[in-house]
């Protein structure tokens, strides 16, 4: 039984922007203002009740199933809560490889393994940890796993929802802009350039 009357919540209101290929855009706002909801709407995991989200000329709301598959491949996201975003029953190697195996099943397994290992090194994880599970890692390491997973398909659009919030103090300190810190951790160097 609900204790309070259901209320309609407007998580994101009145936001409009364009993003050109190769451009990096930051969204700032206080806690609860809707940044993560906006990110999820662009990825397509929460529907928007008003307005339009266009990606490469296609309206997200009316995409055909095949266009939606391409959108899911081209738009990747680094999640704010790294541990919650990782499947606890999968090894780190399988977590990072999953998007590649799903979207490009013809890539030989040896090549998948090679790319996983290269990405692990790139984001600062020892490749010999490939068979470990998420709970065996620190919050910062889980965030690195999420960054590697988001990069493996070389997405056209990479959405970073506070991508370095769980990384070590040295990485987050100094008031550096997030894209620069993310670049240092391999988060933005690998974006597909159209
Ligand atoms: N699954 C959900 N169910 C109900 N309300 C939600 C849900 N997810 C988010 N909200 C609400 O939507 C609003 C926006 O949340 P969102 O997580 O997008 O904020 P945010 O800007 O990312 O905040 P933060 O900076 O703390 O990460 C908040 O009022 C939040 O309580
Ligand atoms: Mg958020």
> For residue 32, how far is its CA from the centre of ligand 1 (angstroms)?
5
Q: Domain for residue 152, yes or no?
A: yes
**Tens-digit pLDDT string for the chain (194 aa):** 566 777 777 767 788 899 998 888 888 888 888 999 999 999 999 888 888 999 998 999 999 999 999 999 999 999 988 888 899 999 999 999 999 999 999 999 999 999 999 999 999 999 999 999 999 999 889 999 999 999 999 999 999 998 777 666 544 434 444 455 455 545 444 443 33
> Number of structural domains, the chain?
1
In angstroms, rounded to a whole number, what is the distance separating the alpha carbons of residues 101 and 4?
Answer: 45
162, 33 Cβ separation under 8 angstroms: no
Structural domain of residue 176, as residue ranges? 63-184
Q: Domain for residue 107, yes or no?
A: yes
> For residue 28, how far is its CA from the centre of ligand 2 (angstroms)?
10
Q: Domain for residue 24, yes or no?
A: no
Q: Domain for residue 29, yes or no?
A: no
Is residue 59 exposed (0-12), middle (13-18) or buried (19+ Cβ within 10 Å)?
A: exposed
In angstroms, rounded to a whole number, what is the distance separating the alpha carbons of residues 141 and 151?
Answer: 15
141, 120 Cβ separation under 8 angstroms: no
Return the ligand number nearest the Cα of 78: 2
> For residue 42, how far is its CA from the centre of ligand 1 (angstroms)?
15
Q: Domain for residue 37, yes or no?
A: no
Q: Domain for residue 140, yes or no?
A: yes
157-160 and 75-78 strand pairing: parallel
Query: What CATH number does the domain containing 114 carry?
Result: 3.40.50.300
């Amino acid at each position: 039984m609900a204790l309070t009357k259901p209320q309609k919540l407007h998580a994101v209101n009145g936001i409009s922007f364009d993003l050109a290929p190769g451009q990096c855009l930051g969204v700032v706002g206080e806690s609860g203002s809707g940044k993560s909801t906006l990110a999820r709407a662009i990825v397509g995991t929460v529907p928007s009740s008003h307005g339009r989200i266009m990606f490469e000329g296609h309206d997200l709301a009316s995409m055909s199933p095949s266009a939606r598959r391409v959108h899911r491949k081209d738009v990747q996201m680094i999640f704010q809560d790294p541990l919650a975003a990782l499947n606890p029953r999968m090894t780190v190697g399988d977590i990072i490889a999953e998007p590649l195996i799903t979207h490009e099943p013809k890539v030989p397994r040896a090549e998948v393994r090679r790319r996983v290992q290269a990405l692990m090194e790139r984001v600062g994880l020892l490749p010999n940890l490939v068979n470990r599970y998420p709970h065996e890692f620190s919050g910062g390491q889980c965030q690195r796993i999420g960054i590697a997973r988001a990069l493996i398909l070389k997405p056209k659009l990479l959405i970073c929802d506070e991508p370095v919030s769980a990384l070590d103090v040295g990485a987050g300190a100094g008031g550096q802009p997030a894209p620069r810190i993310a670049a240092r951790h391999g988060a933005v160097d690998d974006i597909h350039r159209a």
